[in-house]
Amino acid sequence: MPGAIKPLSSETSIESPSVNNTRLRRFLVLAAVKLLKRIVPSHGSLLFIADKLCIKFGPLRNLPEASTMRFVHQHTSIPVPKVYCAFTRKGWTYIVMERIDGEMLGLHWRERSDDSKTKILQQLKSMVAEMRNISPPRGQTQGICNVDGGPIWDCRLPGTSRHGPFESVHDFHRHLRGGFDADPNHYEEVSKLIAMQDKAWPPPVFTHGDLSSLNILVRGDKIVGIIDWETAGWYPSYWEYTTASQVSPMNYFWRDEIDKFLDPMPEALEMETIRQKYFGDF
């Protein structure tokens, strides 16, 4: 039988803090969403309420994204939206943040010159290097967790969307395969997966977790924003590469570019392919 997964601590209900959560700000945000969501431009759960302001809201949004954007802004030069207010009410999260003036990189990627593509990918490579060099906040165990030490969030993982936190990469791997350990009765591929996951891994690194061309904003040849940080946190060193490789139908061309801004990790990609086959993400 699968064994129990060891969490980072017994306090698995660690919650991220709200931001500028005053009664007046809550009232204004809730009123704006109620009054404007049907009459102003929006993109899914993102409501544009001014040239420089937008509100991200919904039951699947969580406060760690606001914490993450503030954390990245404080510790790197990576352009992220400024967070003005963030809170949770009746199971929904609201994040008021800067609306960055830029277009999604994927919109006109094929029309760009090789020189333009190279400039952008070099910028992205530098930003990834900055992320991977961030240390966890003082006093926080370097396990698999979000920036506040709480659960990670990823709808692509099996089971519920919130997972952990986990004390180590090994514990995270056991969780991803349902707690199963090595056994001669496993399918050959499952045994291979467990052997690959159970080898020694370097410490977790800070990871965006969804570096799609749709989450990179540009003006001309300059990256002006990296958005959608809800999946971010400390993950195994390969996680940025394997998640970026899981492209959407709108993003297939991006697979050809990933090795130009991330170190290729073919063995990890094979490992993740086997995991998804037997312990599915979707």
State whether 66 and 130 are in the same domain.
no
Note the Cα 65 to chain centre separation in Å: 9
The pLDDT confidence band at residue 5, using thresholds 50, 70 and 90, is very low
Average pLDDT over residues 30-38: 89
The pLDDT confidence band at residue 140, using thresholds 50, 70 and 90, is low
- Averaged pLDDT score across all residues of the chain: 90
Q: Would you state the structure tokens that stand for residue 257, as one six-digit string?
A: 């570019």
- How many domains in the chain? 2
pLDDT of residue 174: 96
CATH number at residue 62: 3.30.200.20
Percent of the chain with pLDDT over 70: 92
Instruction: Decide if 74 is inside a domain.
Output: yes
- Say yes or no to pLDDT of 53 above 90: yes
CA distance 88 to 57: 9
Query: Is residue 65 within 8 Å of 95, Cβ to Cβ?
Result: yes
State whether 115 and 86 are in the same domain.
no
Q: How far is CA 229 from CA 2, 75, 184, 215, in A?
A: 32, 15, 40, 9
Average pLDDT over residues 78-94: 96
State whether 113 and 155 are in the same domain.
yes
pLDDT of residue 11: 42
Decide which of 207 and 155 is more confident: 207
pLDDT of residue 138: 67
Single out the residue in 98, 132, 151 at which a domain terminates: 98
- Say yes or no to pLDDT of 12 above 50: no
pTM: 0.90
Domain coverage including residue 64: 23-98
pLDDT of residue 164: 93
State whether 63 and 202 are in the same domain.
no
State whether 145 and 183 are in the same domain.
yes
State whether 83 and 115 are in the same domain.
no
Instruction: Decide if 82 is inside a domain.
Output: yes
Instruction: Decide if 1 is inside a domain.
Output: no
Single out the residue in 71, 98, 125 at which a domain terminates: 98
State whether 155 and 263 are in the same domain.
yes
State whether 122 and 176 are in the same domain.
yes
State whether 173 and 153 are in the same domain.
yes
Instruction: Decide if 11 is inside a domain.
Output: no
State whether 251 and 273 are in the same domain.
yes
Q: Which range in 57-66, 216-225, 239-248 is most confidently predicted, on average pLDDT?
A: 216-225
Instruction: Decide if 78 is inside a domain.
Output: yes
Beta strands in 125-269 (DSSP E): 152-153, 162-163, 205-207, 216-219, 222-226, 233-235
- Say yes or no to pLDDT of 259 above 70: yes
Instruction: Decide if 212 is inside a domain.
Output: yes
pLDDT of residue 123: 98
CA distance 37 to 260: 39
State whether 83 and 147 are in the same domain.
no
The DSSP bridge partners found for residue 95 are: 56, 86
The pLDDT confidence band at residue 236, using thresholds 50, 70 and 90, is very high
State whether 134 and 115 are in the same domain.
yes
CATH number at residue 247: 3.90.1200
Instruction: Decide if 79 is inside a domain.
Output: yes
Instruction: Decide if 215 is inside a domain.
Output: yes
Single out the residue in 64, 79, 98 at which a domain terminates: 98
